[in-house]
Amino acid sequence: MVRCDCAPGNGGPSRRSYFREAQDIGHIEEVLAIRPNFSRPEASPHPSGHASAPLVMLPGDMSDLDEIYRRLARSWPQEELAARYLAAKSHDMRGKRGRRDVDRALPTVATALPAAATLGVAVYVLHLLRAGAQGDLAERLIENANRSAASALHHCHRALELDAAAHSFTTDEWVPRISDVAAGLLSSARLDREPPTIVQVSQDAISWLSRAVIDLDKESAEAPNTLSQALGRLLAVSIFAQTAGDLVSSG
């Protein structure tokens, strides 16, 4: 089995490497201009310095990430996650009817990488913001994260479908594995980790997608597992974004 050497707790960088004060809202506004089809991941910020516990200003009564993480850190039945996965992988198709998907797994999973990079930026900045940030900015970040998660997950799932068709297995075989990966990450989610769980998970998703490109290029038997690891992480981040959006809606 392919091992991910960037999992939380495996000697990852400290919070000093991930967070700094959001002193330049104009710079964050530039980040928000990134769209799922953006093809320049180098635009992702590389912060330095130190900040206290990261907070995000949500509209209404919610003013930090604690409640989001509290809702994530619970037991997640496999049936619930399978249903959420089904909805998430189909969501991105609403605006793409009539467009022809790529018919090979490798270029299909490669198209998930820009959206995953955009997702990582949105998740990072949500954790970066501190109390007092503009509520509208948080809403736009959450919308950006939801849109990017749906796009990345759809393309990654489509790559799994194409690999399944080429190697005589079904995607249904891997849904329990995808759900298990997401369940483990969500149930153990913590804001006080360095970096916080969802920030790390969003970055790990990019690593697994990159590994999937290599495995598919080599026609490795590990490709379905690698894709399922990426999909489990994308599902977990998608649920984070949906949870944040639910708080905004109820605020």
For residue range 105-149, what is the model confidence (pLDDT) as tens digits? 999 999 999 999 999 999 999 998 754 455 688 889 999 999 999
Residue 72 DSSP SS3: helix
| pLDDT, greater one: 212 or 139 | 212
Non-local (6+) Cβ contacts of 100 within 8 A are none
Number of domains in the chain: 1
Of 88, 21, 30, which Cα lies nearest the Cα of 48? 21
Supply the range of the domain harboring residue 244: 60-250
**Inside any domain, residue 197:** yes
Residue 31 DSSP SS3: helix
Q: Mean pLDDT score of the chain, rounded to an integer? A: 77
Tokens of 100: 């022809």
**Inside any domain, residue 195:** yes
**Inside any domain, residue 38:** no
Least confident window among 61-70, 97-106, 214-223: 97-106
Least confident window among 124-133, 149-158, 168-177, 223-232: 124-133
pLDDT score of 135: 62
What single-letter DSSP state applies at residue 189? -
pLDDT score of 31: 44
Q: Are 223 and 105 in contact (CB under 8 A)?
A: yes
**Cβ–Cβ contacts within 10 Å for residue 66, how many?**
13
What is the Cα–Cα distance from 22 to 100, expressed in whole angstroms? Answer: 40
Of 97, 82, 74, which Cα lies nearest the Cα of 185? 74
**Inside any domain, residue 2:** no
**Inside any domain, residue 27:** no
Tokens of 123: 């998740």
pLDDT score of 55: 44
Q: Are 181 and 2 in contact (CB under 8 A)?
A: no
Q: Which tens digit of pLDDT belongs to each residue from 48-62?
A: 333 334 444 444 333
**Inside any domain, residue 46:** no
What single-letter DSSP state applies at residue 232? H
**Inside any domain, residue 25:** no
| pLDDT, greater one: 25 or 219 | 219
pLDDT score of 101: 57
**Inside any domain, residue 75:** yes
Structure-token match 């981040």, residue found: 237
